[in-house]
Chain A
Amino acid sequence: MKIALCVKQVPDTSDIKWTENNTMQREGVESIINPYDIYAIEAALKFKKNYNAEVTVFTMGPLQAVDMLKNIIALGIDRGVVISDRKFAGADTYATGITLSAAIKKELPDFDIILCGQFAIDGDTGQTGPCIANLLNIPQLTFIKDISEYNENSITASRFLDDGIELVKVKCPALLCMLKSDFEPSRALINGIIKAQNSDIKILTFEDLGLNPEDVGLKGSPTYVSKAFRPDIKHSGEKHYCLENNSGAQIIYDKMKEIGVFNG
Chain B
Amino acid sequence: MANGILLYAEITRQGYIHTVFFELANKARELSQKLNGAPIYAVLITKPGMLDDYKEGFTYSFIDKVYIYERTDNYSTEIYSNIIVDLVKEIEPEIILIGATNQGRDLAPRISSALKTGLTADCIGLDINEKGLLAATRPTFGGQLMATILCKTIPQMATVRPKVFKPAFENTYTNTEFIYKNSDYNNTNVTLLEFIQGIEDEKNELDSAEIIVAGGKGMKGEEGFKLLKEFADLLGGTVGASRGAVDMGYAPHRIQIGQTGKTVTPKLYIACGISGAIQHTVGITGSEHIMCINNDPNAPIFEISDTGIVADVFEVVPKLIELLKKR
Question: Which positions in A face B, CB cutoff 8 Å?
Answer: 11, 13-14, 16, 18, 22, 24, 92-94, 97, 121-131, 133-135, 138-143, 156, 159, 161-171, 174, 182, 221-231, 233-243, 246, 248-253, 255-256, 259, 261-262, 264
Contacts and interface: CB of A to CB of B under 8 A. Distances in A.
A231 B146 contact: yes
A46 B245 CA distance: 32
For the complex of A and B, the 5 pairs showing the least CB-CB separation, nearest first, are A222-B118, A249-B319, A223-B118, A139-B189, A125-B121
Contacts of A234: 303-304
A224 B285 contact: no
What interface size band does chain B fall in? Answer: 35 or more
Among B119, B141, B315, max chain A CB count under 10 A is at B141
Task: Name the prevailing secondary structure of the B interface residues.
Answer: mixed
Contacts of A251: 307, 309
A223 B144 contact: no
B141 A223 contact: no
Given A124-B142, A237-B303, A164 B77 contact: no
A228 B146 contact: yes
Contact of B120 (A223, A252, A262): A223
25 contacts: A14-B259, A94-B112, A94-B119, A121-B142, A123-B121, A123-B140, A124-B139, A130-B110, A131-B110, A139-B78, A163-B12, A166-B195, A167-B196, A168-B191, A223-B151, A226-B148, A230-B144, A231-B145, A231-B285, A237-B308, A239-B297, A242-B311, A252-B270, A255-B307, A259-B267
Contacts of A127: 105, 108-109, 112, 119, 121
A202 B206 CA distance: 46
A139 B80 CA distance: 12
B1 interface: no
Nearest to B313: A248
Contact of B311 (A141, A159, A237, A243): A243
Given A126-B121, A223-B118, A226-B150, A240 B191 contact: no
